């Protein structure tokens, strides 16, 4: 159904207070669309509409809201009523919401929860942040060895509505040790008297509760899974992570990498909902670091001040070419670093491949550097007032700058990975700063030797 077409009708029903008709209209919408619609309402209207939703639907809608929306609803409902909504959510969605709240609010809300549910949520909240344990769910289908297909099908029919997924069934022994998995399709095609362990795939792909969520996402992507079992360090099944949570993790990790590559501190908040002081606070640390690091660029220019003073005409020509040289070097370094960061993220390259990567980038740099140097030679000679000697010096510096920039760009992310830092930290801003210093050193060194300008 076209949500934009029905939205004016919903607005009219909300304004007129026709609750019966509004409830019927809402039942025709997807939970995601209802969550989006609630965002357009004020607090009083949100509460009225939310209370019209059936109990099971309201829990799903609540899970699709952003944190600001959910906080608004929670404040309007009160702790006890809000906790009843959270009780109906899948455990991973409930934990995801509660971990964003202040500890005092969580404690107050959990006091209204069912004791078993409260203990379970507390257990999840004690797992490390951004770990598999934090994003897993316990709403899955598991069967002990000895269960027949007929018994399993009866259990699935009875409990499936309360499970987050039933596509994959998990087979465990009496110690809850994970033995294998069975696809629901295979179960449907098997005779009722067949035992589930006879159908299972014992090539288990799993993660541990303390594994980082990025590792979980990489594993799911690598093996094209819809869900992945989570086990403790004794290989006992404790939960699963489903693909919808993996999509959220991938979005979160990509956003974090983009922010790091742009020299900003990562933030989970939406841009338009983030205050200007917080945005500034996220950006200032790296801006200060990069500003101070640019001091080295000034020191290099000061060190070669004689090139600018003893040969004034040549110095002016070199200064005019500095922006072009630095920009080209920075672009070359960024290209190499982007491919290296992507390769590391996808598991295509490792630290042991650094030699092969350097050799490949060196050959690429030879080609790119040669083409750029020749093009720059004719650009400087024909389009500027400087002679062929200046054109040759700048072009030669360009050639070596490209080689150095490519080498820096491809190795820094690998070295960051080796010392357990995020490779994204070594993206454009840092690489550009290093390449700027290298390009200036190369330019003035080549000019000093070519024109025989004394350093003293």
14-34 mean pLDDT: 84
93-99 mean pLDDT: 79
The fold adopted by the segment(s) 141-242 is CBS-domain (3.10.580)
Confidence band, pLDDT 50/70/90 cuts, at residue 454:
very low
Confidence band, pLDDT 50/70/90 cuts, at residue 369:
very high
Whether residue 84 is predicted with pLDDT greater than 80 in this model: the reply is no
The DSSP string of 209-252 is TTSBHHHHHHHHHHHT-SEEEEE-TT-BEEEEEEHHHHHHHHHH
At 200, is the secondary structure helix, strand, or coil?
coil
Name every residue whose Cβ is closer than 8 Å to that of residue 160 and which is 6 or more positions away in sequence. 141, 166
Q: What pLDDT, on a 0 to 100 scale, did the predictor assign at position 156?
A: 95
Q: Which residue has the tokens 């987050």?
A: 164
Whether residue 263 is predicted with pLDDT greater than 60 in this model: the reply is no
241 φ, ψ (degrees, to nearest 5): -115, 125
Contact 409, 340 (CB under 8 A): yes
Name the residue with higher pLDDT: 61 or 208.
208
Strands of the 178-183 sheet, one edge to the other? 141-144, 168-172, 178-183
Distance between CA atoms of residues 149 and 143, nearest Å: 10
Q: What pLDDT, on a 0 to 100 scale, did the predictor assign at position 383?
A: 83
Q: Which residue has the tokens 């829990």?
A: 59
Name the residue ranges covered by the structural domains of the chain: 3-130, 141-242, 294-451
Tokens coding 401? 């700058």
The fold adopted by the segment(s) 3-130 is MgtE N-terminal fold (1.25.60)
Q: What is the pTM of this model?
A: 0.64
Least confident residue range of 22-31, 209-218, 324-333: 22-31
Tokens coding 424? 């994204």
227-246 mean pLDDT: 92
Query: 125-180, pLDDT tens digit by residue?
Result: 888 888 999 999 989 999 999 999 999 999 999 999 889 899 999 999 999 999 99
Query: 390-404, pLDDT tens digit by residue?
Result: 889 999 999 999 999
Q: Which residue has the tokens 């841009």?
A: 271
Q: What is the CATH number of domain 294-451?
A: 1.10.357.20
65-93 mean pLDDT: 76
Q: What pLDDT, on a 0 to 100 scale, did the predictor assign at position 121?
A: 79
Query: 30-61, pLDDT tens digit by residue?
Result: 888 888 888 888 877 888 888 888 877 888 88
């Amino acid at each position: 159904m076209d949500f934009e077409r029905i939205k004016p009708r919903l607005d009219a029903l909300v304004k007129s207070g026709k609750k019966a008709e509004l409830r019927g209209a809402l039942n025709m919408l997807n939970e995601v669309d209802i969550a989006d619609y609630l965002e357009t309402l004020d607090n009083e209207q949100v509460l009225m509409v939310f209370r019209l939703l059936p109990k099971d639907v309201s829990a799903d809608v609540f899970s699709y809201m952003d944190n600001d929306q959910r906080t608004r609803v929670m404040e309007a409902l009160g702790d006890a009523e809000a906790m009843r909504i959270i009780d109906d959510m899948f455990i991973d969605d409930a934990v995801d919401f509660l971990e964003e709240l202040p500890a005092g609010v969580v404690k107050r809300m959990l006091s209204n929860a069912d004791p078993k549910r409260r203990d379970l949520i507390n257990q999840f909240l004690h797992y490390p942040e951004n770990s598999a344990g934090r994003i897993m769910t316990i709403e899955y289908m598991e069967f002990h060895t000895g269960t027949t297909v007929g018994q399993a099908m009866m259990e699935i029919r009875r409990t499936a509505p309360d499970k987050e997924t039933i596509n994959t069934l998990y087979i465990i022994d009496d110690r809850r040790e994970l033995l294998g998995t069975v696809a629901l399709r295979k179960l449907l095609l098997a005779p009722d008297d067949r035992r589930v362990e006879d159908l299972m795939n014992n090539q288990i792909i799993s993660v541990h509760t303390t594994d980082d969520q990025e590792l979980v996402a990489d594993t799911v992507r690598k093996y094209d899974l819809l869900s992945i079992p989570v086990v403790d360090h004794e290989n006992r099944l404790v939960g699963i992570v489903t693909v919808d949570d993996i999509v959220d993790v991938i979005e979160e990790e990509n956003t974090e990498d983009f922010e790091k590559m742009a020299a900003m501190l990562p933030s989970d908040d939406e841009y338009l909902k983030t205050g200007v002081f917080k945005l500034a606070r996220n950006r200032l640390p790296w801006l200060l670091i990069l500003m101070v690091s640019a001091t080295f660029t000034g020191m290099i220019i000061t060190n070669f001040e004689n090139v600018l003073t003893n040969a004034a005409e040549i110095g002016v020509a070199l200064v005019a070419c500095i922006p072009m040289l630095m920009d080209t070097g920075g672009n070359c370094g960024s290209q190499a670093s982007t491919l290296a960061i992507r390769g590391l993220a996808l598991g295509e390259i490792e630290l042991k491949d650094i030699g092969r990567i350097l050799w490949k980038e060196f050959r690429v740099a030879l080609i790119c550097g040669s083409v750029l140097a020749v093009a720059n030679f004719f650009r400087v000679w024909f389009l500027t007032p400087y002679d062929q000697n200046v054109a040759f010096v700048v072009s030669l510096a360009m050639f070596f700058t490209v080689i150095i920039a490519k080498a820096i760009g491809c190795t820094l992310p690998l070295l960051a990975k080796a010392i357990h830092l995020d490779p994204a930290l070594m993206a454009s801003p840092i690489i550009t700063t290093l390449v700027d210093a290298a390009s200036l050193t190369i330019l003035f060194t080549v000019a000093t030797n070519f024109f025989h300008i004394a350093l003293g």
